[in-house]
């Protein structure tokens, strides 16, 4: 890797990386099952991402393949969710109501009951499991499922717009096949459902970067939440202060994630690329640009392990689509840098906000904000390292 990368990241995919077989998972069937129109979760994000990257020729390379997933079978879903809960999801999806569903989080403002709810969740999960199977079969090195990333669902509870936890089930499928799995979650919300799934296991390490849980849903993911029993030290949480910007975020990633990934030596990496940490997201308070996601992906790719990437949050649709398209270009080795796509992002998305291509404009962060955030972040990083690093033979 170039020597300057440690300090400032990279604007290009590493040209020295060997060719990777890349799979983009997409199903137009999911258009049939939208969330209610007034709900923040806009299911148009995946189709718009698909249309954008296809228009840019990023689905037609020699090592790139578009795959249509199939719905997950009930037996697969029951590896994490209870039969009682899945029955409730199916009934609520058919318009059959029972007040007990509310105790499972079904029918709330966050997780409303709507027709097609179960079918949507099963197909989105099926896409993630399809990606895991392609990796296990040795047919894919990089997979992206923009339909997935429902990391807040628990075995018997819907939460945070999530009904079936495809992220946990994808990690589980890989781990149960004997793989050491690193789950990296950069969604702005703590990946609580996935952390719960593997809280007492050491074959899956979960690392979540998210906004301060004192301020943002789900209120979990503090530095002292590190797993339990055999899983102690394999659950890593990095809460970030309001206003965290690219350089601060990348510093946290380098200081925490990279040493742990090197120590853990995963066989496969599952990455949740929620775009709600971007500046301008209506449900969060960080100030990232999509450039930091591209930079992080370059560092993850340098581990030369198969990567299964899923979508997640992102409630400014245009920003999310641009971030995911950029991430796909990096993941699949087709990123040619900033100059190659100047003007394409704004034009293809029909957005008048920014004509500079898929990469976001650099944000001007006041020095007082930088100083305040770095002071807070230094304390957080010290706590994380103190709690977790010694358990992996690393110096805090």
Enumerate the active-site residues: 152
Which residues have a Cβ under 8 Å from the Cβ of 54 and sit 6 or more positions away? none
Cα dist. 349→74, 152, 318, 320 in Å? 37, 29, 7, 11
Cα atoms found within 13 Å of the Cα of residue 354, Cβ hemisphere only? 16
> Backbone dihedral region of 160: left (phi > 0), alpha (psi from -120 to 50 degrees) or beta?
left
Nearest to 210, CA basis, from 188, 225, 185: 188
CA triple 306-313-268, angle to 5 deg: 15
* DSSP result, 154-205: BTTB-BTTBSS-HHHHHHHHHHHTT--EEEEE-SSS--HHHHHHTTT-SSEE
Are the beta carbons of 144 and 327 closer than 8 angstroms? yes
DSSP 32: G
Cα 35 to Cα 88: distance, rounded to the nearest angstrom: 18
H or E segment and range at residue 143: strand 142-145
The total number of residues written for the chain in this structure: 396
Helices within the chain (DSSP H only): 5-8, 45-55, 74-77, 83-93, 117-136, 166-176, 192-197, 246-252, 258-264, 290-301, 317-331, 344-349, 367-388
Are the beta carbons of 363 and 289 closer than 8 angstroms? yes
**201-227 burial by CB neighbour count: b if 16+ within 10 A, else e?**
bebbbbbbbbbbbeebbbebbbbebbb
Cα 197 to Cα 80: distance, rounded to the nearest angstrom: 8
H or E segment and range at residue 310: strand 307-310
3-state secondary structure of 93: helix
């Amino acid at each position: 890797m170039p020597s300057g990368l440690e300090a400032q990241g990279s604007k290009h995919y590493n040209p020295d990386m060997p060719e990777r077989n890349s799979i983009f998972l997409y199903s137009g069937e999911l258009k049939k099952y939208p969330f209610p129109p007034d709900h923040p979760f806009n299911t148009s994000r995946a189709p718009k991402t698909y249309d954008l990257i296809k228009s840019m020729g990023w689905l037609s390379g020699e090592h790139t393949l578009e795959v249509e997933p199939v719905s997950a079978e009930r037996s697969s879903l029951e590896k994490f969710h209870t039969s009682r809960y899945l029955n409730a999801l199916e009934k609520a999806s058919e318009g059959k109501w029972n007040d007990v569903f509310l105790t499972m989080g079904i029918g709330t403002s966050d997780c409303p009951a709507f027709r097609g709810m179960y079918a949507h969740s099963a197909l989105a999960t099926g896409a993630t499991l399809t990606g895991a199977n392609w990796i296990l079969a040795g047919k894919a090195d990089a997979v992206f499922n923009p339909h997935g990333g429902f990391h807040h669902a628990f075995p018997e509870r819907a939460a945070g717009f999530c009904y079936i936890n495809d992220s946990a089930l994808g990690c589980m499928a890989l781990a149960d096949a004997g793989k050491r799995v690193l789950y990296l979650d950069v969604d702005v919300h703590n990946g609580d459902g996935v952390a719960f799934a593997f809280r007492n296991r050491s074959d899956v390490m979960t690392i979540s970067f998210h906004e301060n849980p004192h301020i943002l849903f789900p209120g979990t993911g503090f530095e002292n939440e590190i797993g339990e029993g055999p899983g102690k030290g394999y659950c890593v949480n990095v809460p970030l202060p309001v206003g965290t910007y690219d350089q601060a975020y990348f510093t946290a990633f380098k200081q925490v994630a990279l040493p742990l990934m090197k120590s853990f030596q995963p066989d496969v990496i599952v990455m949740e690329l929620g775009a709600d940490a971007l500046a301008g997201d209506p449900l969060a308070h960080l100030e990232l640009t999509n450039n930091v996601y591209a930079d992080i992906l370059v560092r993850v790719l340098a581990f030369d392990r198969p990567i299964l990437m899923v979508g997640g949050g992102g409630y400014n649709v245009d920003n999310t689509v641009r971030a995911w398209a950029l991430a796909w270009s990096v993941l699949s080795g087709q990123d040619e840098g900033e100059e190659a796509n100047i003007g394409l992002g704004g034009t293809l998305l029909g957005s008048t906000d920014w004509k500079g291509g898929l990469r976001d404009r650099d944000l001007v962060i006041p020095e007082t904000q930088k100083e305040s955030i770095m002071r807070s972040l230094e304390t957080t990083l010290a706590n994380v390292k103190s709690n977790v690093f010694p358990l992996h033979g690393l110096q805090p």
